[in-house]
Structure formats: C-alpha cells, structure tokens
Amino acid sequence: MDTVQKFLTTPLKIGDKVLPTRLILAPMVGLTHLALRKLIQEYGGCGLLFTEMCSARAIPSENPRNSPYFKFLPEELPFLTCQIVGNNPQEMLAAAKRIEELGFFGVDLNFGCSVANIYKKQSGAYLLEEPLLASKIISLLKKHLTIPLSVKFRLPQETSTAKVKELAQSFEQSGADFLIFHPRKFPDRRNRPPRWEYIEVVQASVSIPVFGNGNVFNPKDLKNILKTGCAGVALGRIAAARPFIFAELCHNFTPTKKTYLEVAQKMLTYLQNFFEPVRALRLFYKWATYFCANFDFGLSLYSQLKKANSLEEIEKILPHILTLNPLTSPNLLLLGN
Ligand SMILES: Cc1cc2nc3c(=O)[nH]c(=O)nc-3n(C[C@H](O)[C@H](O)[C@H](O)COP(=O)(O)O)c2cc1C
C-alpha cells in the first residue's frame, strides 16, 4: 500500500460519524442516481455518496417511491448525503429535517451550482455573493440538525485569497461540519482548469475537513490534489465513467475488459429496475457519454449506442465492449473537458 492509499483509507471522523475512506462521490444531476450509486457501492472504496441536487422546496412532499431523483435504498442511507438547493432558510430547514428523519448520513448545501436557471433564482453559486444569507441558512440548519451538515461551493466572483478565506471561515463558524470545494468560478465551465491552489487556501483557513474537487481523473491527479493538504477528495465525472475508480484508487482493484462490460450491463439493468423505460433510456445515454470516454474509439461506441432506440437494442450492442481497448486515462473530450 503506497502513502496515498494509506492516507485515503485512513478513516475520517465527521461529527459522531466516521467515513471509511477519504474519497467521496461529488453530486451530479442526472448521474448520481440510485443506479450509479449502487454500482459504486458494489465495487467499494467510496467513503460517502451524494444524491443529485434536490430542490429544497420539493423535498418535504416528495415521494421516494415514485420521485425521479429523491430515490434511494434503505441500505445506502448510512453513507448517503442528500444535497439540497434553494435560498429560503425555512424551506431549507424543512427539507433538511425530512432528510434527517429518513436516516440519511447528512445534508449538503449546494452553494456551487452555476446553471442559469438556478443562479437566476438566486440559489446555488449565487449564495456566494450573499454570504450573510448563506450563513443564516447554515446556522439555522445546524441549530436543528444532529446529522452532519456540509457545504459544496466554488470560487466566488471576487477571486482573492482574502475573499475565499472569509467565505470558508464563515461557513465553518456558522456550523458546517465539512466543505467540498470546486475551485472554478461562475461562469467558467469545465474548459478552464480548476485552481487547486485555492483548495490549499480553504483547508489552511478552517479546522473542519475540506474535500478538494475538480479534474481528478487518475492516480497522478489524485497525488497532486492531495498536495494542497485537503482532508479528502470528491470525484465527479470520473466516477460516472468508472464506478470502480474508488476501488482502483483505494484498494488496487484492476478492471479487465470483462469489468467494463459488466458495468454497462449492470447499469442497464439497474436503470430498468429503478426507473420507468423512457427515463431509463435517457439516463443511460447521459451516463454512456462518460462511460465511452474509457475507450479508444469510444465515440464510435457512443454513436452505435445512440442509434439504438430501446434498452433491448442497447443490450445487444454491449458485448461489443469486449473488442475495445480501454485507455489508461479517459478521453477528456468525452468527459466534457
Ligand atoms: C453532469 C453534471 C452534473 C452536476 N450536477 C451537480 C449537482 O447537482 N450539484 C453539485 O454540487 N455539483 C454538480 N456538478 C459539479 C460536480 O459535482 C463537480 O463539482 C464537477 O464536475 C467537478 O468535478 P470533476 O472534475 O471530478 O467532474 C455537476 C457536474 C456535472 C458534470
């Protein structure tokens, strides 16, 4: 076991709970659904899972049996955090209380989403420009919750060391138990590299754990991001592409060609089991963009899959995966880089 693995598999205490590893899943709309989470858990190595972002307004009345996004299995709750998005403290509290009652590991506040319709509603990354409201939300939830409360955020518009430090410290003082930090600013998309040097600033200015996030795709990236001193790392797109990445990085799991086929077949089955057919097909296509990034000629696999019009047809194409050569590092163009 090398030093990175030793660090990653050193349990991390958060409140009165313990994460088995320091490598966690970053929340992603349309990707971190129940099917992907189930696959990730089967391979192991992931310290904490996240739902997709859920509207705080909707959560109190959402029915997990038929909700397309607020859907989970009882066995994943001890290591599943639900991310909520909104800006009304009372609505956020009502959502958080329900999440706690249901038995989730924790509640995460989305202060990082820069998608236009969220930002325009003065939620997500907008709250970084309203630090008093952001603090009010955190302290209100902290006062009423016993489960861990985390904040996922990005770089604020005014990108200076002083501003980033001030934000991180205000989150800690208001009661956040840990932070997940993606150092890109709105409206920068993924075409610019994240500014990892700010992860160092954030971790150095607070005493709670900080999970660094952004563009970690392989062991070398992981080693480099850990130089910032962060307590752990959150993986986004690479976890969709390689649900076994946590097992690779923490436990030396080595995928074979058969592993890739197994992943795609299981994804198809789980999506069919958990979602109605039209949604299952849509979610499969969304996921397939990331999965195909694993292969030389991945784009041609994607076009083949895209031509199929049903889950049954997709199933027939999947064995073709065995004829492809997996790349050592994924095709960043397909990952949206
Ligand atoms: C398709 C997609 C959906 C995302 N949805 C969310 C979300 O719901 N909540 C959130 O906090 N971040 C969301 N993100 C951002 C990721 O959590 C993460 O911060 C970002 O992808 C950088 O990490 P990566 O380089 O490991 O992918 C999303 C990213 C992607 C690619």
The encoded tokens of residue 198 equal: 């700010």
The encoded tokens of residue 300 equal: 């041609």
Cα angle 134, 136, 138; round to 5: 70
Q: Whose CA is nearest to atom 7 of ligand 1?
A: 28
- Give the per-residue pLDDT at 337: 52
Distance of CA 310 to the CA centre of its chain: 28
In a domain, 329, yes or no: no
Alpha helix ranges (H) inside the chain: 3-8, 34-43, 89-102, 116-120, 131-144, 161-174, 197-205, 219-226, 237-241, 245-251, 257-274, 277-292, 298-307, 311-317
Per-residue pLDDT tens for 161-195? 999 999 999 999 999 999 999 999 876 666 688 99
| Structure-derived torsion over alpha carbons of residues 101, 106, 107, 110, reported in degrees to the nearest 10 | -160
In total, how many domains does the chain have? 2
- Please indicate, yes or no, whether residues 213 and 156 belong to a single structural domain of this protein: yes
Strands 12-14 and 17-19: antiparallel
Boundary (domain end) residue, out of 201, 223, 251: 251
- Give the per-residue pLDDT at 176: 98
Strands 210-213 and 232-235: parallel
- Please indicate, yes or no, whether residues 155 and 205 belong to a single structural domain of this protein: yes
For residue 28 and ligand 1, the question of a CB distance below 6 A is answered with: yes
- Give the per-residue pLDDT at 192: 80
Contact 336, 237 (CB under 8 A): yes
What's the domain range around 308?
A: 257-323
- Give the per-residue pLDDT at 185: 84
Q: What are phi and psi of 316, to 5 degrees?
A: -70, -30
**Beta-bridge mates of residue 291:** none
Q: Could you tell me the CA-to-CA distances from 295 to 246, 300, 321, 334 in Å, in that order?
A: 19, 10, 9, 10
Q: What is the C-alpha R_g of the chain?
A: 19
Which residue type is seen at 263? V
Q: Whose CA is nearest to atom 23 of ligand 1?
A: 214
Per-residue pLDDT tens for 5-23? 999 999 999 999 999 999 9
The encoded tokens of residue 297 equal: 């000629």
In a domain, 123, yes or no: yes
Q: What are phi and psi of 154, to 5 degrees?
A: -125, -170
- Please indicate, yes or no, whether residues 187 and 267 belong to a single structural domain of this protein: no
For residue 213 and ligand 1, the question of a CB distance below 6 A is answered with: yes
Contact 69, 54 (CB under 8 A): yes
- Please indicate, yes or no, whether residues 190 and 42 belong to a single structural domain of this protein: yes
CATH number at residue 44: 3.20.20.70
In a domain, 331, yes or no: no
As a whole number of angstroms, the distance between CA 124 and CA 25 comes to: 19
**What's the longest Cα–Cα distance across the chain?**
56
- Give the per-residue pLDDT at 148: 98
Cα angle 44, 50, 53; round to 5: 155
Q: Could you tell which of 33, 117, 182 is best to mutate to test the pocket of ligand 1, judged by most ligand atoms within 8 Å of the CB?
A: 182
For residue 236 and ligand 1, the question of a CB distance below 6 A is answered with: yes
In a domain, 333, yes or no: no
For residue 85 and ligand 1, the question of a CB distance below 6 A is answered with: no
Distance 112 CA to ligand 1 centre (A): 9
For residue 210 and ligand 1, the question of a CB distance below 6 A is answered with: no
The encoded tokens of residue 37 equal: 């989470």
Boundary (domain end) residue, out of 222, 251, 280: 251
- Give the per-residue pLDDT at 165: 97
Residues in the chain with pLDDT < 50? none
CA pseudo-torsion sign 258, 263, 264, 265? positive
In a domain, 310, yes or no: yes
The encoded tokens of residue 113 equal: 């989403």
In a domain, 336, yes or no: no
pTM passes above 0.95: yes
For residue 225 and ligand 1, the question of a CB distance below 6 A is answered with: no
- Please indicate, yes or no, whether residues 175 and 275 belong to a single structural domain of this protein: no
In a domain, 35, yes or no: yes
The encoded tokens of residue 139 equal: 């302290």
- Give the per-residue pLDDT at 13: 97
As a whole number of angstroms, the distance between CA 2 and CA 46 comes to: 18
- Please indicate, yes or no, whether residues 295 and 185 belong to a single structural domain of this protein: no
Boundary (domain end) residue, out of 202, 221, 251: 251
